[in-house]
């Protein structure tokens, strides 16, 4: 089915125009004008710390200007910590929760666990992970060989930025298991404002596993340094990220019976690879610089006779720069694990490299607050170039040369924000280069009839794309794998919607996607293309509360039309029952309970160490096994602590506790951890 992107794009813009009328009743957006009559003196003093500078009694005093707080939260005058990120699809600035101080299932510290979805992974912390929810998988990966690590990586162009009144430091640490097999997580975040306009910070994550089984050692180090500056008409933010991940590869069990049918010590269970490892490195830098070409100045009169001026942008220009360097090295000395050996039968040392630079020039016309619902407009032009390398047989004869990549695209976007309705969308046309004639339409919508997420609200998304396959899917050569493909563009049509109400602790959603010329890795570990796949999912997340008892549940259902190329669990379930009690009034709160994950049987993907890909398999179904934890969580002032027995049910039922084909989960283990927020 060929999708007419241009016609659909025109329809999308027409829908946006229709939404203007729908939103005509919304209140005037207050980030352009602030009603001084609604602010008492105390509020104005708090407001001035971030929002406006007070001048003399002269009405023509010019304020110091606008910063990110004016854009993100013009109503909340008591909030002192802000966090935001750039949505790289629409270029919206999206406010985030700056610091989570709530003790809610704080024992769920492994990546993606707080999404309450089961995962296919290699059984140990720090190794590649693939979520079982098809609609949460990363299909927009920048580097093919790192997509299994995406849950550990920091975003650069879309990384979080902060603005805080006092220095904030967040320290998280957790560990579990015996000394010789322990895993550890360490996270450190520090951010502070040098002044009210300039913020600097550093973020470091460390994941380490010695391994309950043989050859499971992992060491993941990810560090980001970031900063932002917003004053007058100038805005700027930048992030530098360095990632180094080293994993030993054991290739999975020699035979599943060593888990299913025996009680061998974990360290004695035999695996297929004995001296294999992979290293992944990433260096990224992203910066955004903006200048408000045209602004609006609004004078606020106060009861104390001191007038203030708020400066709000109307037309803004931005320059966005994003540079990334990715490398992966895989090595082993195995002679029987792989089917093919194209270079050396006795030793493998594969290396892959990708470098790209992306520059975007963007012009933004701000939404006119006087007429709520009329969208703001963005237009941009993006240039991407770089080079990449993988081994070629000609490297033995000629001097090695990296292959060049280049592409350009033009984009247009719309956005609107109000108390009742928020929407944004983008349309991209790729003009030339390796992605010539690619197209992408993305839109998102949020309706809040009661102007609050406490009461029922609705979200919706749509994605339509016609995309060239990844450069490494088309051509690749290594010791164990080689391919040269002429794939068609992969075409996707996806819609999704959800309804929620925080007051009732309820969320439900539905997703549908149709993929033409679906790309995947087959059972031989080779990229291939099928005809059509249609997948759908529906979920309900609900928390029940009775006195101090909480019952948290999420149930996900999935189905697809081509199970030969895509296998998903029909049902995935998370459930937790716990009792919460204030042990010391206003000081110490505790939670005591049990939680667990479960998925029905399905052909969970296998893993190919040489290429770091999850691949299709029809050898064995995995699932129909619950993973249960018993936990105690505590919040003491600014600190949260947890203690848990993970996989407490191991040995009580059957031993089918596999997480991927021939990869087993850790056995029963005790873990504990601490999270502490420091601020003045």
Give me the DSSP letters along 558-605: EEES-TTT----SEEEEEEEEEEEEEETTTEEEEEEEEEEEE--B-PP
CA distance 72 to 285: 24
Tell me the per-residue pLDDT of 318-375, one tens digit each, with 9 for 90 and over.
999 999 999 999 999 999 999 999 999 999 999 999 999 999 999 999 887 767 678 8
Least confident of 121-135, 388-402, 481-495: 388-402
Tell me the per-residue pLDDT of 167-193, one tens digit each, with 9 for 90 and over.
999 999 999 998 888 999 999 999 999
CA distance 438 to 428: 8
Give me the DSSP letters along 147-192: GGGTTTPPPSTT--EEEESS-EEEEEEEEES-TTT-EEEEEEEEEE
CA distance 634 to 642: 6
Inter-CA distances, 266 with 263, 571, 666, 672, Å: 8, 30, 9, 21
Beta bridge partner(s), residue 473: none
Give me the DSSP letters along 263-324: ---GGG--BS-SSEEEEEEEEEEEEEEEEEEEEEEEEE--TTS--EEEEEEEEEEEEEEEEE
Is residue 7 scored above 60 in pLDDT? no
512 SS3 class: strand
Mean pLDDT for 620-633 is: 96
Q: DSSP 3-state helix, strand, coil percentages of the chain (rounded to 5)?
A: 10, 50, 40
Inter-CA distances, 56 with 150, 231, 306, Å: 52, 20, 6
In the chain, the percentage of residues whose pLDDT exceeds 90 is: 70
Of the candidates 244, 268, 220, 200, the one whose C-alpha atom is nearest the C-alpha of residue 667 is 268
Of the candidates 388, 426, 381, the one whose C-alpha atom is nearest the C-alpha of residue 405 is 388
Is residue 236 scored above 90 in pLDDT? yes
How many angstroms from the chain centroid is the CA of residue 567? 23
The upper half-sphere exposure of residue 163, i.e. CA atoms within 13 Å in the direction of its Cβ, equals 27
Give me the DSSP letters along 417-440: --SSEEEEEEEEEEEEETTTT-EE
Q: Work out how many domains the chain is built from and give that number.
A: 1
- pTM reported for the whole predicted model: 0.86
Q: Which two tokens stand for residue 312?
A: 């709000």
Please give the pLDDT value at position 79.
62
CA distance 426 to 413: 4
Run of H or E residues at 257? helix 257-260
Beta bridge partner(s), residue 599: 572
Q: Confirm if 647 and 670 have CB atoms less than 8 A apart.
A: no
CA distance 567 to 219: 30
pLDDT confidence of 397, banded at 50, 70, 90? confident
Q: Say if strands 519-521 and 527-529 run parallel, antiparallel, or are unpaired.
A: antiparallel
Q: Which two tokens stand for residue 565?
A: 């190329």
User: What's the CATH code of the domain at 325?
Assistant: 2.40.170.20
Please give the pLDDT value at position 531.
86
Q: Confirm if 386 and 405 have CB atoms less than 8 A apart.
A: yes
Q: Confirm if 131 and 115 have CB atoms less than 8 A apart.
A: yes
Tell me the per-residue pLDDT of 560-592, one tens digit each, with 9 for 90 and over.
999 999 999 999 999 999 999 999 988 899 999
pLDDT confidence of 411, banded at 50, 70, 90? very high
Of the candidates 222, 195, 197, the one whose C-alpha atom is nearest the C-alpha of residue 207 is 222
Q: Say if strands 119-121 and 639-646 run parallel, antiparallel, or are unpaired.
A: unpaired
DSSP single-letter state for residue 194 = S
Least confident of 300-309, 389-398, 514-523: 300-309
Q: Confirm if 59 and 299 have CB atoms less than 8 A apart.
A: yes
Q: Which two tokens stand for residue 41?
A: 């003196």
Please give the pLDDT value at position 304.
67
Contacts with 584 (C-beta within 8 Å, 6 or more apart), sequence order? none
Domain that holds residue 240: 5-679
Q: Is the dihedral of CA 159, 165, 166, 171 positive or negative?
A: negative
Q: Confirm if 492 and 463 have CB atoms less than 8 A apart.
A: yes
């Amino acid at each position: 089915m060929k999708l007419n992107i241009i016609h659909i794009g025109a329809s999308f813009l027409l829908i946006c125009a229709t939404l203007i009328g729908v939103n005509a009743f919304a209140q005037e957006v207050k980030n352009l004008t602030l009603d001084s009559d609604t602010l008492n003196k105390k509020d104005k003093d708090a407001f001035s710390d971030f929002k406006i500078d007070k001048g003399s009694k002269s009405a023509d005093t010019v304020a110091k200007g606008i910063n990110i707080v004016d854009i993100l939260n013009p109503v909340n005058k008591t909030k002192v910590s802000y966090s935001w990120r750039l949505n790289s699809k629409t270029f919206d600035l999206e406010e985030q929760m700056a610091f989570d101080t709530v003790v809610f299932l704080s024992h769920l510290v492994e990546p993606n666990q707080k999404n309450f979805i089961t995962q296919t992974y290699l059984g140990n912390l720090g190794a590649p992970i693939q979520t079982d929810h098809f609609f949460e998988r990363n299909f927009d990966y920048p580097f093919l060989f790192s997509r299994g690590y995406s849950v550990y990586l920091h975003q650069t162009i879309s990384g979080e930025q902060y603005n805080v009144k006092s220095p904030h430091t967040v320290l998280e640490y957790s560990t579990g298991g015996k000394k010789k097999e322990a895993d550890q997580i360490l996270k450190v975040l520090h951010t502070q404002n040098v002044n009210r306009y300039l913020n600097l910070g550093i973020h470091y994550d460390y994941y380490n596993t010695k391994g309950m089984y043989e050859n499971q050692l992992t060491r993941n180090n990810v560090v980001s340094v970031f900063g932002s500056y917003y004053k007058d008409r100038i805005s700027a933010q930048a992030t530098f990220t360095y990632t180094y991940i080293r994993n030993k590869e054991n290739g999975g069990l020699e035979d599943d019976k060593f888990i299913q049918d025996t009680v061998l010590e974990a360290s004695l269970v035999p695996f297929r690879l004995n001296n294999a490892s992979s290293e992944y490195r990433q260096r990224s830098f992203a910066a955004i610089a903006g200048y408000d070409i045209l602004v609006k100045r609004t004078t606020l009169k106060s009861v104390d006779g001191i007038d203030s001026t708020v400066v709000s942008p109307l037309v803004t220009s931005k320059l966005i720069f994003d540079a990334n360097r990715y490398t992966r090295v895989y090595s082993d000395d195995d002679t029987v694990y792989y089917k093919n050996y194209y270079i050396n039968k006795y030793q493998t040392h594969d290396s892959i490299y990708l470098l790209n630079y992306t520059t975007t020039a963007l012009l933004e016309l701000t939404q006119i607050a006087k007429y709520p619902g009329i969208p703001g407009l963005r237009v941009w032009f993006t240039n991407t170039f770089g080079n990449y390398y993988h081994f070629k047989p000609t490297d033995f004869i000629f001097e090695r040369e990296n292959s060049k990549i280049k592409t350009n695209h033009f984009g247009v976007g719309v956005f609107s924000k109000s108390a009742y309705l928020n929407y944004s969308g983008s349309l991209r046309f790729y003009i030339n280069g390796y992605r010539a004639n690619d197209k992408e339409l993305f839109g998102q919508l949020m309706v809040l009839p009661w102007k609050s997420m406490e009461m029922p609200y609705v979200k919706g998304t749509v994605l339509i794309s016609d995309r060239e396959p990844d450069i490494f899917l088309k051509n690749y050569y290594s010791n164990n794998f080689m391919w040269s493909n002429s794939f068609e563009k992969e075409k996707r049509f996806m819609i999704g919607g959800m309804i929620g109400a925080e007051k009732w602790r309820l969320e439900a959603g539905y997703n549908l996607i149709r993929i033409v010329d679906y790309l995947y890795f087959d059972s031989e570990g080779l990229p291939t293309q099928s005809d059509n796949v249609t997948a759908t999912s529906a979920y309900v997340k609900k928390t029940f509360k009775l006195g101090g008892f909480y019952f948290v549940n999420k149930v996900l259902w999935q189905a697809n039309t081509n199970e030969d190329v895509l296998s998903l669990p029909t049902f995935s379930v998370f459930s937790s029952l716990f009792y919460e009690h204030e042990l010391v009034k206003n000081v110490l709160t505790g939670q005591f309970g049990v939680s667990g994950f479960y998925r029905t049987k399905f052909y969970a993907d296998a893993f190919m160490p040489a290429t770091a890909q999850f691949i299709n398999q029809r050898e064995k179904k995995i699932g129909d096994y619950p993973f249960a934890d018993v936990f105690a969580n505590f919040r003491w002032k600014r600190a949260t602590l947890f203690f848990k027995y993970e996989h407490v049910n191991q040995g009580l039922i059957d031993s089918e506790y596999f997480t991927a084909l021939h990869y087993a989960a850790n056995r029963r283990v005790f873990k504990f951890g601490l999270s502490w927020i420091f601020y003045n």
